[in-house]
Amino acid sequence: MGTNSAAQYTRVAIVLHWMIAVLLFAMFAIGWNMVDLPRGPDRTFNFALHKSIGLTVFTFALVRVVWRFFNRPPPYHPSVARWRITIARSAHLLFYVLLFLQPVSGYLSSSFSGYQTAIFGISLPHWGWRDSPLNEFFTEIHVMSSVFFIVLICIHILGALSHAFDRNDGIFRRILPW
Ligand code: HEM
Ligand code: HEM
Q: Is the pLDDT of residue 4 over 50?
A: no
The residue whose CA has the least distance to atom 20 of ligand 1 is: 106
* Structure confidence at residue 64 (pLDDT): 98
* Structure confidence at residue 167 (pLDDT): 79
Single pTM value for the model:
0.95
Who has greater pLDDT, 137 or 163? 137
In this predicted model, what pLDDT tens digit does every residue of 89-111 receive, in sequence order? 999 999 999 999 999 999 999 99
Q: Is the pLDDT of residue 2 over 90?
A: no
What SS3 class is residue 3? coil
Residue 21 CA, distance from chain mean position: 7
Cα–Cα distance measured from residue 84 to residue 159, given in angstroms and rounded to the nearest whole number: 9
* Structure confidence at residue 80 (pLDDT): 87
What average pLDDT does range 113-122 have in this prediction?
96
* Structure confidence at residue 6 (pLDDT): 54
DSSP state of 167: I
Q: Is the CB of 43 under 6 A from ligand 2?
A: no
Contacts of 153 (CB under 8 A, 6+ apart): 24
What SS3 class is residue 86? helix
Cα–Cα distance measured from residue 101 to residue 58, given in angstroms and rounded to the nearest whole number: 10
CA-wise closest residue to 158 among 83, 64, 91:
91
The residue whose CA has the least distance to atom 34 of ligand 1 is: 106
What SS3 class is residue 6? coil
2-11, 53-62, 133-142, range with the lowest pLDDT: 2-11
Cα–Cα distance measured from residue 59 to residue 4, given in angstroms and rounded to the nearest whole number: 32
* Structure confidence at residue 103 (pLDDT): 98
Confidence of residue 14 (pLDDT cuts 50, 70, 90): very high
What average pLDDT does range 50-60 have in this prediction?
98
Confidence of residue 168 (pLDDT cuts 50, 70, 90): confident
User: 14 in the Ramachandran plot: left (φ > 0), alpha (ψ -120 to 50) or beta?
Assistant: alpha
Q: Please choose from 16, 17, 62, 84 the residue to mutate so as to test ligand 2's pocket, defined by most ligand atoms within 8 A of CB.
A: 17
The residue whose CA has the least distance to atom 21 of ligand 1 is: 106
Nearest 5°: the CA angle 118, 94, 69 is 80
- Among the atoms of ligand 2, which is closest to the Cα of residue 95? 10
